[in-house]
């Protein structure tokens, strides 16, 4: 049975690696960036992310477990975490906290990155990523053709989700306290699940979602 245990101590943090003081080509960035560094590359600029706090780690783990089981049970594709980059274009490599790749696009997975955008990306806002997640990545994902983008902001207890319509994002309006995915039919998130000191059990949450999706419309 899958479960997500609270992480009170994320353990030793990897040494901070300062970004280069100049722009890098894509080849230079890949040579510079190692597996211990979480960094993105946009128009030659290297963006190094700060180490995540315990809340961010817990929330990411919860969402990956929840959505991965939903996807695997329905044979929809693959759910990947922040260890993998997505190469949105020849000028942009991003690292979502979570991404879903539909089954018919799994051929785009490479050894160390996804070629092109995923079908769904989720970003969890941290203090150093407010502008990046709400504005920069929004525009980058929209331009790349990402079908659905979710932003989860624990500090402000706020969720916003967007779906791509004719090349532009439209907000997915919450319905009765939950936000429904368009890419993952039947799947939704409730705000109240995500702001608890102790996150709900993954299996209990799945049962609630599945029960709601089985009800007559």
pLDDT at 216 over 80: no
Helices (H), 74-154: 130-131, 137-144
Q: Where in the chain is the domain with CATH 3.90.1570.10?
A: 52-214
Q: How far apart are CA 86 and CA 208, in angstroms?
A: 31
Higher pLDDT, 51 or 47: 47
pLDDT tens-digit profile of 186-199? 999 999 999 998 99
Helices 202-214 and 54-73, axial angle in degrees (round to 10): 50
pTM: 0.87
pLDDT tens-digit profile of 148-184? 999 999 989 999 999 999 999 999 999 888 999 999 9
- Tokens 């901070």 belong to 16
**Whether 149 contacts 121, CB under 8 Å:** yes
Say whether domain 52-214 belongs to CATH 1.10.3720.10: no
pLDDT tens-digit profile of 10-45? 444 445 678 888 999 999 999 999 877 889 999 999
Residue 60 Ramachandran class (φ > 0 left, ψ -120 to 50 alpha, else beta): alpha
Phi first, then psi: give them for residue 122, nearest 5 degrees. -125, 130
């Amino acid at each position: 049975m899958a479960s997500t245990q609270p992480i009170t101590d994320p353990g030793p943090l990897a040494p901070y690696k300062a970004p280069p003081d100049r722009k890098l080509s894509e080849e230079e960035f890949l040579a510079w960036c190692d597996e211990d560094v979480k960094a993105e590359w946009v128009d030659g600029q290297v963006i190094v992310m700060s180490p995540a706090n315990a809340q961010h780690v817990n929330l990411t783990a919860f969402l990956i477990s929840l959505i991965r089981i939903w996807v695997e049970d329905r044979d929809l594709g693959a759910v990947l975490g922040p260890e993998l980059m997505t190469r949105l274009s020849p000028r942009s490599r991003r690292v979502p906290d979570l991404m879903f790749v539909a089954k018919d696009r799994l051929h785009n997975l490479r050894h160390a990155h996804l070629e092109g955008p995923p079908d769904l990306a989720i970003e969890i806002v941290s203090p150093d990523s407010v502008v990046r997640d709400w504005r920069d990545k929004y525009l980058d994902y929209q331009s790349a053709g990402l079908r659905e983008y979710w932003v989860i902001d624990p500090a402000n207890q706020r969720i916003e989700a967007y779906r791509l319509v004719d090349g532009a994002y439209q907000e997915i309006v919450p319905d009765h306290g939950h936000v429904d995915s368009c890419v993952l039919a039947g799947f939704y998130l409730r705000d109240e699940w995500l702001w608890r000191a102790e996150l709900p059990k993954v299996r209990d949450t799945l049962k609630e979602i599945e029960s709601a999706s089985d009800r007559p419309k």
